[in-house]
Homo-oligomer: A and B are copies of this chain.
């Protein structure tokens, strides 16, 4: 299906060069189509951008969230989510690194529907993570000195930094650093007051 092929190019290009400079003419040329043949499926560039975000969110869910959904809620699921997340970077699911990270930086000062969609996706994902952190703490699997919000901040910071260093320096050592930092933060709580 042409629409799917267009979206595959759009998410690949979007992860590398962003969705703003994404050009309908260029996608058309790369796929051997006319511009009308590309944009006809979406109606406007903005709708194409939104569809690309939707595809990328689904891809992220399939790669990172879904394979962890069978784990018991709490520390086990949280660890699996983080493993999947780093692995998703390592396997370069998108050629330019995490699509939603690239696009969130690109649109943070560009109000509109694309920004809203990306910010919403991020809010929902961070909310999921924070819920698992809280659950792990409630079960006594994780130290409670730090708030769920603080721990989630740090977890995402490590993943983002790995993505950034991979993209700018092509340094796979960043993945190692991220895994070490995450692992240290998610160390099982020492035996104390039960749980």
Contact = CB atoms under 8 A, between A and B. Distances in A.
Interface of A: 16-18, 20-21, 96-97, 101-102, 104-106, 108-110, 118-119, 122-123, 149-150, 153-154, 156-158, 160-161, 164-165, 167-169, 173-174, 177-178, 180-181
Nearest to A145: B184
Nearest to A181: B154
A159 to B, nearest CB: 9
A164 to B, nearest CB: 6
B150 A156 contact: no
B109 A167 contact: yes
Contacts of A167: 105, 108-109
Given A167-B109, A168-B108, A150 B119 contact: no
A158 B154 contact: yes
A32 to B, nearest CB: 23
Contact of A109 (B96, B109, B123, B158): B96
Nearest 6 interchain pairs by C-beta = A157-B161, A108-B167, A157-B157, A153-B177, A16-B109, A105-B105
Chain A interface mostly: helix
A7 to B, nearest CB: 19
A177 B160 contact: no
A51 B173 CA distance: 31
Given A122-B168, A154-B161, 7 more contacts: A18-B20, A20-B20, A109-B167, A122-B169, A123-B169, A149-B177, A157-B161
A150 to B, nearest CB: 6
A108 B167 CA distance: 6
A158 B122 CA distance: 17
Scoring A108, A150, A154, A174 by chain B CB atoms within 10 A of each residue's CB, the highest score goes to: A108
A180 B150 CA distance: 8
